[in-house]
Structure 1
Amino acid sequence: MIKHALFVRLEARPGKEQAVADFLSAGLEMTNREAATPIWFALRLSPTTFGVFDAFAREEDRQAHLAGDMANALMARVDEMLASPPSVELIDVLAMKNEPA
């Protein structure tokens, strides 16, 4: 059962909006390799603001994701792509619906 989630807000540096979008699109491959990350969304919230929402069954899975390949790749490119460090919010999932459209 999904109990834990993250919301990460990313603000692109001026002129780096496409680089952030491309990075997040490529991030799907990295997160697909994480068996303990069953839900992952890369989002564009505005022309310069992006987000990542992901959810996990256990707190240990959330912490593993925060220390995983995707997080490390993002942190290695913060100065290049982002106007400020990512804002990371730890979220408790109260209820969830997940079925194919």
Structure 2
Amino acid sequence: MSRCALLARLEARPGKEDEVEQFLRSALPLAESEPGTRTWFALRFSPTSFGIYDTFDSEAGRQAHLDGPIAAALFAKADELLAQPPRIDRVDLLASKLPH
């Protein structure tokens, strides 16, 4: 079972919602190439609010993801696309159900 997760919350600048959505969609191949990233989800909470939820089997996998290309790209584009800095919470998973 994955034990570690990240929940990132992103608020798009006015008029940048489509670009944030495209950025998140374009990050999927990067997430798929990360061996330590068990699951990865791009989310839309509202017309302007987005998120990323991902899980990892270990703290090392979580840290590798935070040090990897998705986080680097997100922070490089943050001033242009986001109304405020991304909020990234480290969370510990207590239970989960995934398909086999």
Gaps of 5+ in 2: none
Equivalence for 1:70: 70
- Distance in 2 between residues matched to 1:30 and 1:57, nearest whole Å: 18
Does structure 1 residue 27 correspond to structure 2 residue 27?
yes
The alignment's TM-score, normalised by the length of structure 2, stands at 0.98
Equivalence for 2:89: 89
Aligned partner of 2:21: which letter? Answer: A
Deviations for 1:26-71, whole angstroms, at most 9, x for unmatched residues? 0001111101101000000000000000000000110110010000
The alignment's TM-score, normalised by the length of structure 1, stands at 0.97
- Distance in 1 between residues matched to 2:30 and 2:15, nearest whole Å: 25
- Distance in 1 between residues matched to 2:9 and 2:24, nearest whole Å: 12
Equivalence for 2:7: 7
CA RMSD across the alignment = 0.8
Moved over 6 A (4+): none
Q: What is the aligned residue count? A: 100
- Distance in 2 between residues matched to 1:10 and 1:3, nearest whole Å: 23
- Distance in 2 between residues matched to 1:13 and 1:35, nearest whole Å: 32
Gaps of 5+ in 1: none
